[in-house]
Amino acid sequence: MRKPNTKKMQAECDAFNAKNPIGSDVFVKLDGVDEPFRTRTRSDAQILSGHSAVIWLESVSGCYLLHCLTLAKRLAKMILSQQQGVTK
């Protein structure tokens, strides 16, 4: 197993934090649940124990990997574009 790239993970965290303050609306893919769960961030994104870019969320135990999140604005745009594609 290769060593995690902490510089890359820190860049991911910094980029996320710059655009998404604490309290941002997000959807998270919870373990064992098919539908995305809507919540809000309750921390800045950070590197956990030198191996994972994570964030803590309201009404969710523990933290989740950043790549498990979809910003609420982005998901709304995706749904809207899909609906517009169906109605054309």
**Radius of gyration from C-alpha coordinates of the chain:** 15
What local confidence, expressed as pLDDT, does residue 79 receive?
59
Residue 1 is assigned to a structural domain of this protein:
no
φ, ψ of residue 65 to 5 degrees: the values are -65, 140
Does residue 73 fall inside a structural domain? yes
Average model confidence (pLDDT) across the chain: 85
Determine, yes or no, domain membership for 11: yes
Most confidently modeled range among 13-22, 28-37, 74-83: 13-22
* Side chain identity at residue 35, one-letter code: E
Range of the domain at 73: 6-87
Model confidence band, residue 78 (pLDDT cutoffs 50, 70, 90): low
In the chain, % of residues over pLDDT 70: 80
pTM exceeds 0.85 for this model? no
What is the three-class DSSP state of 69? strand
* DSSP for residue 60: -
**Is residue 56 pLDDT above 80, yes or no?**
yes
Instruction: Give every CB contact of residue 42 below 8 A, 6+ residues apart in sequence.
Output: 22, 23, 56, 57, 58
